Structure 1
Amino acid sequence: MLAVSLLLAAFLCGVDAKHRGRCKGQCSYDSPKAGVSANLQVSGASHAVSDITTEGGWTILDCDSKALAQEIRLVCQNSDCEHLFEGHGAIDTLVRLPESCGANAFARVADIKVDLDQSLPKEVAATINPTGNITSTVFLLSVDTNFAAVDIKKTGPVAFSLEGYNFAVANLTAPSLTKRGLKTRNWTAFNGSNSFDFPPLNIDQTFPLLSASVNCDHFTASVAATFETKVDATVSIGLIAAGTIIPPAITELAVYGGVQGDIIGTLDLKSSAEGSISIPRTALYKNTLAGIDFPGLFTLGPTFGVYGELEANLDADFDLRVDLAYNLNAKAYFPPDSQPSTGASKPIDSKLTLSASPNLAVRSSVVPKITPELKLGLEAFSVISASVTLGAEGSLSATLSVDGSANAGTGTEGSSASGQISACVDIGAGVDVNLAAEGSISLFGLSESAAKTYPIYSHEWDLYNKCASAQGQTKREPAAVAVVKEKRAGITCPTSSEFTSIQKIIDQIISIFTSK
């Protein structure tokens, strides 16, 4: 997973949030993190949006830094605090919380009362401005994120809009709170350039796929497969959204995800058995990255994973080590009409190591797949969820075909065999990039509320496509009699052959295959 610094969580979360001045009907917030661009705006009637920060005239005496719903003890510091009680009163007002108070930055006032304990620390009492009707009064304020409980007839609607990326964007401002303003958003920040400092993603690990064996007479046949995965890439995400907090609704939403860099998956397969292997999609690597977190409002959480698959039909001793290596540049936008998604790939030098001791007729094939995947999961107002996934499935198709004949004879060195062997190796590679959405994708203005896949890009290329033949003479050895004792993962003991030592001829062919 490695650390990937997608730092957009600073919007509304804890000590990193930053707001511009006092909230009185409107608030604007920026993320101060280096390399992060994020802006949030909240707008409503003057009496519908307030705050309980020092800029709003309050001092927090006691609160829980992680709770979404809690009772906060606070004191009116100066006359600015009276704004909380204007209009319809404090209850149902949307308030901005101090950075050190609560997991969320916005909350609904559920209740307020004067604390029976009016005692104050000396250092706080010394800073209170005596002007105002309720200064120095200590209150108990109950807050939560049940925005649906607000009586909109009293407060009127409270709108929000935001725009954020995990890379620097100059002069970023949130889109207009109107639908027209969001539809005319500037997506050029997603286009990627050398001026953007994307957080690096580096993986270099070996993952076991399969280890199985079967007991045969006098020996054990086995199959073992691993994936050595190397990823040197950057992951970029972005979000633009608008809607209302009161009542809870997201009217416009668009997300972006991008993966750019080198993907290398090295399959190492060692087999002395025959049979079929089928390893379904398996998570080789998975990590939840920091994302955009609005506790109680909505969360866009990215997860980066690497998945492996393997299909193989093995006809004899067969060892293969081959790279599935390519450079990927994929950019996905959702919903699709917000901006055309793009994909591009190009092969990186691939290395092949192959060895075989086959019978005289062999058909072995191996199809490994490796898929880096960026998944953006969205939860809105704790009741609806959707996800958008950018996946780049890279696959190999490796086939070894061997045909031959052998003749027995008697020479000065005893029993011997000579033969003609011809063989072909065909290895192709490809990448398919797709965008998938599932869940409540109606959030994105689409009518569907199910799973849907959007193809973005497909590319295939040849790595190896060679045939060769050779002949030679080799010592004849007694044939091994194979007896199946048990069976696992679809493998069996190798079928016995009259001649078991034709490695000299095969080695001549393999040397041709592996030389580039």
Structure 2
Amino acid sequence: MLSSTFILLSVLGTVYGAANDWSQPCLSGVCFYDLPASGGSASGTLKIWGSEEAITDITAAAGWDIIDCQKDTLSQDIRLVCTGDDASCAHLYQNIGAVGKIARLPERCGENAFARISRAWVPEDQSIPENIARRLVKRNGVQPEVKALHIDADFSALDEAKAGPVNFAIQAANVPGADVAALEAASPGAREKRQFGFIKKAIKAVTSLNKVSVDKSQTLPPVSVNRTFNVIDETLSCPPVEGRLKIDVTAQAEAVAAIGVAAEGTIIPPKISGFAITTTLTADLNGALIMNGALSGSIDSDKINLFEVGIPGLSFPGILTIGPSFRIDAQAGAQLDVNADVTVGISYKVDKATLVFPPQSGQDNSGAVKLKHTPLKLSVSPSAKATGSVSAHLIPSLNLGISALGGVADATVFLELDASAKMQLTLQAQASAATTVNGLTRSRARASAPRSIGSDDVLVTEVLAARDAKLGSLSLLSERDLDARQAGASFGGCFSINAGLGVNAGANAEFFGLFDTGTKVPLFNREFELLKRCFGNQQQQRRALRFNRSLGSENAALHLLAPWARLEKRALVCPAPEAQGELVPLVEGVVPATSIKAV
């Protein structure tokens, strides 16, 4: 495989050596700035170019020493004095004067690499620090005059008619290696054609760099979370007990995200004409929906922010800043006439999911999303009718906040992974139940034997292995375990447990006409059946459903198995007295990943 360095060198044109050379002044209308190099940090190059009158330099290379300058602001007054040759220093004021020019700033002076000069004057304070005074070259025995400038990043206030347009181009990533080549200058007449080629090739190179970087834990620190969050918790007095509906979501996640950007446009006037952002995400999620339900009715939560943390981004302050964050949201709902405990795992792995946004011609989004072993637990009261549905969404997302050209445009591009779990059931107790959980049988009063399940039912394959310590003593569900539970259960009806995963990208605002809220990139959308079982006379109806499905009737299953979906929403109330008995487990274990099928 070609190295990322070679790719960048080959696609980005003429190489000028090191892009940013602090020993050389920017007085010819072309100037570079490299992100400061440090171990494991962001890398990239910003290039600006225009007329010689539009771009100047107030660094030591151009003969200037800054006397007063803060390093952590974009707007400030500074004092400076010429300590070099007159010809270099004179460039600041020649032709159109200092006001209205873009100046390269020295390191440790301002947050930004380039600033607008909005005011120039001779300050009353002509004092010079001793360390600078010792290096001054007196002209005819007279100390050079101290100058003053106001600098800021309000590029929209610059007048194009005064010195013409000033162009810029950026290639960068939040990993090392994106600043290995300079950006090629091109004639204005070839600008549109060059723009298309630059964005496409640069983003391809940075994407390749990112895919290599996410494999290196020393390059990008992972984001980790391991917590249980409450989403819904409602209680009612239901003498002689207290009724409660509680839904929790557990989130055990680790993610690594590499980010890159290619952009091109003009600082004067402030506009981005070409832009693409790329991210490569590797994530491991082990979550679960946990419900303890002893109330009847309907309830839905809003989308709740559970966790958010900033991750390494990249910034050329005043020109373009990408501020990423990793966030986890959750949402849950229930519509129940059941006393039940439910646990459904939400476990999957994302391997190098790669997004280029907005979509580029010939640039494919890629990556693998795999479901893992999924823990399941369902216990219901055997003495009452049990109908309802419970769903939960665990939504990790990578959010890339973009600020361009001093705030002229702001937007957020997001990569969202919506993982959901849903349980639906319509069960009618017939008298008693007997279940087997990991080989242990629990029984109640004997009732008439239910009908055996048909051989055409889909059963998970037997895998005799333990999951990790997180799942405790639960074992992988086998065909033998399921048959044992079903053979002893005194229920009629059906239940199903499904999982869903949707991976989508989009934006929350319009950005220079390049994308807007309507720009969507669907990467992966699929629903999976974890487990579906019918008992009693519902088995025959279920076989008929299979026949209907083979004829394309996809709604038949929903019509039969989910009548609760048509129930009107209503307030939570206490369950019927007969539904308040001890719960009996119907299923408890882990569905192996190999048996999970898409629906």
TM range (shorter): 0.7 to 0.9
Looking at structure 2, the residues matched to 133 and 46 of structure 1 have their Cα atoms a distance apart, in angstroms, of 32
1:109 to 110, 114, 117: 117
Residue 467 of structure 1 and its aligned partner are, at CA, apart by 4.9
Write out per-residue CA displacement over residues 428-450 of structure 1, whole angstroms, 9 at most, x where no aligned residue. Answer: 21211111123224442x5xx54
Write out per-residue CA displacement over residues 88-120 of structure 1, whole angstroms, 9 at most, x where no aligned residue. Answer: 222212111222222322111122222233222
Residue 489 of structure 1 and its aligned partner are, at CA, apart by 9.0
2:447 to 410, 419, 428: 419
Residue 170 of structure 1 and its aligned partner are, at CA, apart by 6.2
Looking at structure 1, the residues matched to 576 and 119 of structure 2 have their Cα atoms a distance apart, in angstroms, of 80
Residue 417 of structure 1 and its aligned partner are, at CA, apart by 6.0
Q: How does 1:401-420 map onto structure 2 within 5 Å?
A: 401-406=426-431, 418-419=446-447
Residue 501 of structure 1 and its aligned partner are, at CA, apart by 5.3
Query: 1:463 matched to which residue of 2?
Result: 530
Looking at structure 1, the residues matched to 388 and 228 of structure 2 have their Cα atoms a distance apart, in angstroms, of 24
Residue 347 of structure 1 and its aligned partner are, at CA, apart by 0.7
Residue 132 of structure 1 and its aligned partner are, at CA, apart by 9.9
Looking at structure 1, the residues matched to 162 and 512 of structure 2 have their Cα atoms a distance apart, in angstroms, of 30
Query: 2:340 matched to which residue of 1?
Result: 318
CA shift in 2, pair 1:168/1:143, >3 Å: closer
Is 272-281 or 284-293 further displaced after alignment?
284-293
Q: Is the 8 A contact 1:404 1:419 kept in 2?
A: no
2:259 to 219, 237, 241: 237
Query: 1:125 matched to which residue of 2?
Result: 133
Q: Is the 8 A contact 1:433 1:458 kept in 2?
A: yes
1:375 to 378, 382, 399: 399
Residue 47 of structure 1 and its aligned partner are, at CA, apart by 3.0
Query: 2:541 matched to which residue of 1?
Result: none
Q: Secondary structure at the match of 1:183?
A: helix
Query: 1:89 matched to which residue of 2?
Result: 97
Q: Is the 8 A contact 1:125 1:136 kept in 2?
A: no
2:356 to 310, 333, 336: 333
Looking at structure 2, the residues matched to 327 and 418 of structure 1 have their Cα atoms a distance apart, in angstroms, of 44
Residue 232 of structure 1 and its aligned partner are, at CA, apart by 1.3
Percent same amino acid at aligned positions? 31
CA shift in 2, pair 1:230/1:150, >3 Å: same
Structure (1 or 2) with the greater strand fraction: 1
Residue 72 of structure 1 and its aligned partner are, at CA, apart by 0.5
Write out per-residue CA displacement over residues 333-376 of structure 1, whole angstroms, 9 at most, x where no aligned residue. Answer: 12212523235311111112332224332123211111111122
Looking at structure 2, the residues matched to 18 and 270 of structure 1 have their Cα atoms a distance apart, in angstroms, of 61
Residue 242 of structure 1 and its aligned partner are, at CA, apart by 0.8
CA shift in 2, pair 1:173/1:84, >3 Å: same
Looking at structure 1, the residues matched to 133 and 320 of structure 2 have their Cα atoms a distance apart, in angstroms, of 38
Query: 1:149 matched to which residue of 2?
Result: 157
1:431 to 488, 496, 501: 501
Which consecutive unaligned segments of at least 5 residues does structure 1 have? 1-16, 408-415, 470-487
Query: 2:306 matched to which residue of 1?
Result: 284
Which consecutive unaligned segments of at least 5 residues does structure 2 have? 1-18, 186-190, 433-443, 449-489, 537-568, 593-599
Q: Is the 8 A contact 1:285 1:305 kept in 2?
A: yes
One-letter code of the match for 1:301? Answer: G
Q: Secondary structure at the match of 2:91?
A: helix
Alignment: residue pair count? 466
Looking at structure 2, the residues matched to 183 and 28 of structure 1 have their Cα atoms a distance apart, in angstroms, of 21
Write out per-residue CA displacement over residues 263-282 of structure 1, whole angstroms, 9 at most, x where no aligned residue. Answer: 22222211222222211221
Residue 139 of structure 1 and its aligned partner are, at CA, apart by 0.9
| 1:352 is the counterpart of 2:376 | yes
CA shift in 2, pair 1:310/1:151, >3 Å: closer
One-letter code of the match for 1:492? Answer: V
Structure (1 or 2) with the greater helix fraction: 2
Looking at structure 2, the residues matched to 298 and 441 of structure 1 have their Cα atoms a distance apart, in angstroms, of 13
Is 261-270 or 132-141 further displaced after alignment?
132-141
One-letter code of the match for 2:423? Answer: A
| 1:54 is the counterpart of 2:76 | no
One-letter code of the match for 1:422? Answer: F
Is 325-334 or 283-292 further displaced after alignment?
283-292
Normalised to the residue count of structure 2, the TM-score between the two structures is 0.71
Q: Is the 8 A contact 1:97 1:107 kept in 2?
A: yes
Write out per-residue CA displacement over residues 447-494 of structure 1, whole angstroms, 9 at most, x where no aligned residue. Answer: xx543433222233222234568xxxxxxxxxxxxxxxxxx9932111
Normalised to the residue count of structure 1, the TM-score between the two structures is 0.82
Q: Is the 8 A contact 1:78 1:132 kept in 2?
A: no
CA shift in 2, pair 1:367/1:92, >3 Å: same
One-letter code of the match for 2:502? Answer: D
Looking at structure 2, the residues matched to 223 and 428 of structure 1 have their Cα atoms a distance apart, in angstroms, of 21
One-letter code of the match for 1:255? Answer: I
Looking at structure 1, the residues matched to 255 and 317 of structure 2 have their Cα atoms a distance apart, in angstroms, of 29
Query: 1:202 matched to which residue of 2?
Result: 224
Write out per-residue CA displacement over residues 233-288 of structure 1, whole angstroms, 9 at most, x where no aligned residue. Answer: 21121110011112212111111123222122222211222222211221111234
Looking at structure 2, the residues matched to 134 and 96 of structure 1 have their Cα atoms a distance apart, in angstroms, of 28
2:169 to 153, 161, 171: 161
Q: Secondary structure at the match of 1:116?
A: coil
Is 20-29 or 119-128 further displaced after alignment?
20-29
Q: Secondary structure at the match of 1:181?
A: helix
Q: Is the 8 A contact 1:343 1:456 kept in 2?
A: no
Query: 2:576 matched to which residue of 1?
Result: 495
CA shift in 2, pair 1:396/1:38, >3 Å: same
Q: Is the 8 A contact 2:248 2:290 kept in 1?
A: yes
One-letter code of the match for 2:375? Answer: K
CA shift in 2, pair 1:100/1:170, >3 Å: closer
Q: Is the 8 A contact 2:270 2:408 kept in 1?
A: no
Is 294-303 or 215-224 further displaced after alignment?
294-303
Query: 1:28 matched to which residue of 2?
Result: 32
| 1:392 is the counterpart of 2:420 | no
Q: Is the 8 A contact 2:66 2:79 kept in 1?
A: yes
Looking at structure 2, the residues matched to 290 and 514 of structure 1 have their Cα atoms a distance apart, in angstroms, of 36
CA shift in 2, pair 1:224/1:134, >3 Å: farther
| 1:247 is the counterpart of 2:260 | no
Q: Secondary structure at the match of 2:132?
A: helix
Query: 2:248 matched to which residue of 1?
Result: 226
Q: Secondary structure at the match of 1:387?
A: strand
Q: Is the 8 A contact 2:44 2:178 kept in 1?
A: no
Q: Is the 8 A contact 2:304 2:329 kept in 1?
A: yes
Q: Is the 8 A contact 1:72 1:141 kept in 2?
A: yes
Looking at structure 2, the residues matched to 376 and 132 of structure 1 have their Cα atoms a distance apart, in angstroms, of 56
Query: 1:260 matched to which residue of 2?
Result: 282
Q: Is the 8 A contact 1:157 1:247 kept in 2?
A: yes
CA shift in 2, pair 1:387/1:133, >3 Å: farther
Residue 84 of structure 1 and its aligned partner are, at CA, apart by 1.3
